[in-house]
Amino acid sequence: MAQPGGVRIGWADLPGPVQRDIEQIIGGGPIVAADSQAGGFSPGTADRVRTAAGARAFVKAVTPALNEQSAELARQELRITAALPRHTAVARVLGGFDTGDWVVLVLEDIEGSHPAVPWVVPDIKAAATALRGLAGVLTPAPVAGLPTVVEKYGEEFSRWDDLAADVPDDLDPWAVAHLDQLRAAAGRGVAALSTGATLVHGDLRADNILVRADGSLVLVDWPHACVGPAWTDAVLLAINVIVHGGDPAPLLDGVDPGIVTGVLAGATALFQHRCRQPPPPGLPTVRAFQRFQADALLPWVRGALSRG
C-alpha cells in the first residue's frame, strides 16, 4: 500500500484574502508556483509554494467547513510547533493565523523526501538514532499544557474491551479466541505509557518524516504531541515499519519486549475499532488505511504473544 493520503484542497482553493495574508508572511511578492503534497488525512492544503522573488515555504491551511477536527488539529500544530526548541529536527514556523474560518500554518520548506516504504534498514537505523537524540532534547517536555500519552490514547488502546463486548462478525478468528490475552497485553501497554516526561510526536509514520540529502531526519506534523516515555515514538514508528513489511528491531533496541507487545496490542485494538466506524466528514479514505494497519499489525502481535 502506498503512503496514506486523503482528498485535499489546494492553493487555488484558498480565498483571496487568505492567500494575500500568507504572501505577506512569506515575503517576496505573490505566489507564482504551488506544488500540492500527498500524504496525511487532512482535507486542507499541503503546498510547497514559491513567490515571484523566489522565497519558498510550506503552507498548510484548513477550514472547519471541511472538517472540524482537522481545523482543531491545525490549531494545535501551530501552537506546538512554534513552541518547540529551535535546535530540534523540526520545520521552523514562519508564521500562521486563525481567522475562525481558516487556520493557516506557514512553515520552512524542507528539501527532502519521505523514507521509502517498505522501510529499508538504513532508514530504520537513521530513524532510531534520530529519535533517541530527539528524546534527549525534549526531556523534560519543553511545551506546557500537553496531554499525556495515556490521556490521548489510553481509551483507544483499550478497545479490545469494546470488541469483546460486541464481537464483529469479521474479526480475525484467532483474535476472537484470544480476546482475554489481547486485553491483558494492551492493559500492560497502557500502564507502561503512563510514565515518562518526554515530549513525543505521537503520530509517527514515514509520511511525517523527511530525509535530507545529508541523511539527517526532520519530523513534521506535530498536532498529536503529548508527554510520555522517551521510547514512545520509536515504538509507535515501529508500527509503520511492521505494517509495510520491515524489521523494526533497531527502533525497539533497549525497550522491554513485553512493553512493546503491549503497546502494539493496544494500537491494534485502536485500528480494529476505528476501521469499523463511519468515515469522518471530509476524510473518506482514513478507514481503509486503518483497516490495512489493523490487518497487518495483528499477525505481529499474535507472533509476539505466542513467543511469550
Instruction: Compute the distance between CA of residue 14 and CA of residue 20 in angstroms, rounded to an integer.
Output: 10
In contact, 45 and 11? CB cutoff 8 Å: yes
CA-wise closest residue to 188 among 233, 158, 208: 158
Looking at the chain, the whole-number percentage of residues with pLDDT higher than 70 is 96
Q: What are the tens digits of pLDDT across the range 160-201?
A: 999 999 999 999 999 999 999 999 999 999 999 999 999 999
Q: E strand or H helix at 53, and its extent? A: none
User: For residue 145, which amino acid is it?
Assistant: G
In contact, 107 and 81? CB cutoff 8 Å: yes
Instruction: Compute the distance between CA of residue 181 and CA of residue 96 in angstroms, rounded to an integer.
Output: 47
Compute and round to an integer the Cα radius of gyration of the chain: 20
Output DSSP code: residue 56: E
Q: Peptide bond preceding 140: is omega within 30 degrees of 0, i.e. cis?
A: yes
Domain boundaries, the chain: 11-107, 121-307
The rounded Cα 201 to chain-centroid distance in angstroms is 7
pLDDT-derived band of residue 4, with 50, 70 and 90 as boundaries?
Answer: low
Half-sphere exposure of 269 (CA within 13 A, CB side): 31
Looking at the chain, the whole-number percentage of residues with pLDDT higher than 90 is 89
For the segment 133-152, the average pLDDT, to the nearest whole number, is 96
Q: Residue 282: its pLDDT value, please?
A: 75
Looking at the predicted structure, is the pLDDT value of residue 154 above 80? Answer: yes
User: For residue 247, which amino acid is it?
Assistant: D
In contact, 208 and 237? CB cutoff 8 Å: no
Cα dihedral angle (147, 39, 268, 139), rounded to 10 degrees? -30
pTM for this model (two decimals): 0.90
In contact, 70 and 40? CB cutoff 8 Å: no
Rounded to a whole number, what is the distance in angstroms from the first to the last CA of the chain? Answer: 30
Q: How many CB atoms lie within 10 A of CB 115?
A: 26
Could you tell me whether strands 31-36 and 217-219 are parallel, antiparallel, or unpaired per DSSP bridges?
unpaired
Beta bridge partners, 226, equal: 200
For the segment 135-162, the average pLDDT, to the nearest whole number, is 96
Cβ-proximal residues to 44 (8 Å cutoff; 6+ apart), any chain: 8, 9, 60, 61, 62, 63, 66, 70, 74, 103
Q: What are the tens digits of pLDDT across the range 214-272?
A: 989 999 999 999 999 999 999 999 999 999 999 999 999 999 999 999 999 999 999 99
Q: Residue 306: its pLDDT value, please?
A: 94
Could you tell me whether strands 217-219 and 209-211 are parallel, antiparallel, or unpaired per DSSP bridges?
antiparallel
202-218: b or e for each residue (b if 16 or more CB lie within 10 Å)? bbbbbbbbbbeeeeebb
CA-wise closest residue to 89 among 199, 4, 232, 193: 199
DSSP tally for the chain: helices H, then strands E: 11, 9
For the segment 52-81, the average pLDDT, to the nearest whole number, is 94
SS percent in the chain: helix, strand, coil, step 5:
45, 15, 40
- 121-307 in CATH: which number? 3.90.1200.10
Looking at the predicted structure, is the pLDDT value of residue 2 above 60? Answer: no
Q: Residue 211: its pLDDT value, please?
A: 94
Q: Residue 1: its pLDDT value, please?
A: 37
- 11-107 in CATH: which number? 3.30.200.20
Q: Residue 41: its pLDDT value, please?
A: 66
